[in-house]
């Protein structure tokens, strides 16, 4: 073990594990935090699987998952409830990781896909399919992904300056403007729709895990199998980018190419999550900041942020299932996220930040 230079005022203790010709550098505290977050997220998911009109104890859930339960319990667990819990974990992981990418790129704690238009663009694509074209579940998913990608492309092109690339703050400001315009379009689409279609669209916009099956979980898992390793592989370059473009280029980082790849990965993550569960608010905003405070490390904490997002969405789903009135998980995360956003704005104001 060795003690590196302080980061953010705290010494960073690291360990190096050598296996053959390879060496892996890791830090005990972030590793413990990741383990704890994963444990809480999985525990919440187990409780979600056990919740419902036919309650199942946590031990019985585990037995059913390992093939040791009775036939009726295994059917309820693996067929009816497990897809919902898995979809929630994967969507939370995707949102947390996407939020960490965009907050680090913009060097702004408010630079999450919730606020810079990408989630709203995904919702617009789905609404057009629901209210205008009348497509089915597959078409709605495809339109949701297309909406996020097209919004990101438009924001990126407008934010791009010839010879200067894309600056993080400029990307956020233009994204906020795009989000406002898309929100207005979404409201217009709902007001022009028939009552049944408007109800369906409004329910989708709240973000929900109700009725989620393996047809939602499997495509999301496939997308994450590609995007998560790609994002984590770019994590070191992302951290260097927080030093500023000039410093990152001096360290050998191809800034604009890295930024383009990170935007693609981040947009893909939020699009996949939104297509699966709808625009669940504030998870992408809160998860990266909570991860930084738990790990006590500055810079892009991609894996802790991803696990924090999974924990937040799983816990939000558990809360929604145990309220007196059943409500979508997006309402729970919206309430909790609103409180967090107010606290964040107050904290940044006390520090004299704009």
- pLDDT for 35 beyond 90: yes
Lowest mean pLDDT among 24-33, 63-72, 149-158: 24-33
Q: Of all helices (H) and strands (E), which one includes residue 2? A: strand 2-7
- pLDDT for 352 beyond 60: no
Q: What is the mean pLDDT of the chain?
A: 82
pLDDT of residue 243: 63
Which of 152, 88, 135 is closest to 328 using CA atoms?
88
C-beta separation of 302 from 289 below 8 A:
no
Residue 123 half-sphere exposure toward CB, CA atoms < 13 A: 33
- pLDDT for 353 beyond 50: no
- Cα separations in angstroms, 127 against 131, 133, 320: 6, 9, 24
* Most confident of the following: 104-108, 274-278, 348-352: 274-278
pLDDT of residue 160: 75
Band of residue 252 on the pLDDT scale cut at 50, 70, 90 = low
pLDDT of residue 155: 85
* Most confident of the following: 2-16, 149-163, 334-348: 149-163
What average pLDDT score do residues 267-284 get?
89
What average pLDDT score do residues 189-194 get?
86
Four-point Cα dihedral 78, 80, 82, 87, nearest 10: 140
- pLDDT for 148 beyond 70: yes
C-beta separation of 189 from 127 below 8 A:
yes
- pLDDT for 82 beyond 90: yes
Lowest mean pLDDT among 183-192, 241-250, 251-260: 241-250
- pLDDT for 7 beyond 50: no
């Amino acid at each position: 073990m060795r003690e590196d230079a302080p980061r953010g005022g705290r010494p960073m203790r690291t360990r190096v594990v050598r296996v053959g010709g390879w060496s892996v550098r890791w830090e005990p505290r972030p590793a413990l935090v990741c383990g704890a977050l994963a444990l809480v997220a999985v525990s919440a998911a187990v409780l979600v699987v056990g919740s419902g009109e036919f309650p199942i104890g946590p031990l019985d859930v585990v037995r059913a998952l390992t093939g040791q339960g009775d036939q009726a319990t295994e059917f309820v667990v693996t067929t009816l409830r497990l897809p919902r819990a898995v979809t929630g974990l994967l969507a939370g992981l995707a949102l947390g990781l996407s939020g960490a990418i965009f907050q680090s790129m913009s060097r702004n704690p408010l630079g999450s896909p919730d606020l810079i238009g990408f989630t709203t663009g995904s919702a617009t694509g789905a609404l057009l399919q629901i209210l205008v074209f009348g497509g089915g579940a597959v078409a709605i998913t495809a339109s949701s992904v297309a909406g996020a990608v097209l919004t990101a492309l438009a924001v990126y092109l407008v934010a791009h300056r010839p010879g200067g690339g894309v600056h993080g703050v400029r990307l956020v400001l233009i994204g906020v403007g795009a989000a406002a315009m898309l929100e207005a379009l979404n409201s217009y689409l709902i007001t022009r729709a028939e009552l049944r279609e408007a109800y369906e669209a409004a329910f989708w916009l709240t973000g929900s895990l109700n009725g989620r099956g393996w047809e939602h979980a499997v495509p999301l898992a496939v997308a994450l199998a590609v995007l998560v390793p790609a994002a984590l592989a770019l994590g070191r370059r992302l951290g260097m980018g927080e030093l500023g473009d000039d410093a990152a280029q001096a360290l050998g980082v191809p800034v604009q190419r890295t930024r383009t790849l990170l935007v693609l990965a981040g947009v893909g993550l939020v699009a996949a999550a939104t297509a699966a569960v709808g625009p669940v608010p504030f998870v992408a905003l809160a998860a990266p900041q909570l991860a930084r405070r738990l790990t006590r490390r500055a810079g892009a904490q991609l894996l802790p942020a991803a696990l924090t997002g999974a924990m937040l969405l799983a816990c939000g789903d558990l809360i929604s299932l145990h309220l007196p009135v059943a409500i979508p998980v997006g309402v729970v995360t919206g309430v909790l996220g609103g409180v967090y956003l107010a606290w964040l704005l107050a904290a940044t104001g006390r520090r004299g930040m704009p």
